[in-house]
A = this chain, B = another copy of it.
Amino acid sequence: MSKRPLILISNDDGVAAQGLGVLTDLMCRLGDVIVVAPDGPRSAASCSISPLTSVKISLLKEQPGLKVYQCSGTPTDCVKLALDGLLERRPDLVVSGINHGDNASVSVHYSGTVGAALEACMKAVPAIAYSLKTKSQQCDFRPYEEVVMQTARYVLEHGLPEDVLLNVNFPEVPQLKGTRVCRLGRGRWMKEMMQVGEGEYRLTGYFENLEPEAADTDYWALDHGYASITPIQLDMTANAYLNSKFTIHNS
């Protein structure tokens, strides 16, 4: 059996996305790579799964150290299928992306890219989600390669705490100013539904940063030319409120 690390890759833009190809090339420098990605775009798939249909998978490409599969399901389905059906051994790392579009602040909740990494984290596999703040499907990813390699090498070497994954976002710049380890910023999407017909709407809108001056947030990092590295966790319990011992009817 290979002594090289085994790295699983997924995304939500689909198996043909440029960002997935870039991430695959980079990860092939670090280990043996299996890609299991959706067969088409699944943007904003969040952690959704497919309980009502079967999920199909097919091998697209095989060469030494690399296999690429496409899957009819969601990003989370892809990771479940890889970990629970396809892979002969447990991967050492799961990476997701590089997403075309940022996944900072509350967007972690909508993101299929983050969803795939969360699924790996739930199964105790160290995971990183990578996203680029762009609206383009063709981008120059070279400015971000060094940080991708650094973070992946770091996690392969040191692991991550239980139930924690990394969420990495890049601003679209010719050269990064550096990296910032930071929290998720507070923000919300606004004016999201545009009426396009009688009883028919389309998603649109813009992101409102609720704390644009807060230099310890991911959006601040992106707005100022830095890559953001945010550890996020599975546990969503609101501990401060829980510990305030609010009483509804606690018998």
A residues apposed to B, CB below 8 Å: 41, 43-52, 54-58, 74, 76-77, 80-81, 84-85, 106, 108-110, 112, 115, 118, 122-124, 147, 150-151, 154, 158, 160-161, 163-164, 177-184, 186, 188-189, 191-193, 195-197, 199-203, 205, 229-242, 245-251
Q: Are B179 and A251 in contact (CB under 8 A)?
A: yes
Q: Are A123 and B237 in contact (CB under 8 A)?
A: no
Q: Are A238 and B110 in contact (CB under 8 A)?
A: no
Q: Are A41 and B46 in contact (CB under 8 A)?
A: no
Q: Which residues of B contact A110 (CB under 8 A)?
A: 47-49, 76
Chain copies in the assembly?
2
Q: Which residues of B contact A246 (CB under 8 A)?
A: 158, 181, 231
| A71–B114 CA distance with the chains assembled, in angstroms | 26
Question: Shortest distance in angstroms between A16's beta carbon and chain B's nearest beta carbon?
Answer: 15
A-B contact pairs, 7 of them (CB 8 A): A46-B49, A48-B112, A49-B203, A81-B201, A181-B242, A181-B246, A181-B247
Given contacts A123-B188, A178-B249, A181-B242, 10 further A-B contacts (CB under 8 A): A46-B49, A47-B109, A48-B74, A54-B202, A80-B193, A84-B191, A84-B192, A85-B195, A160-B241, A233-B238
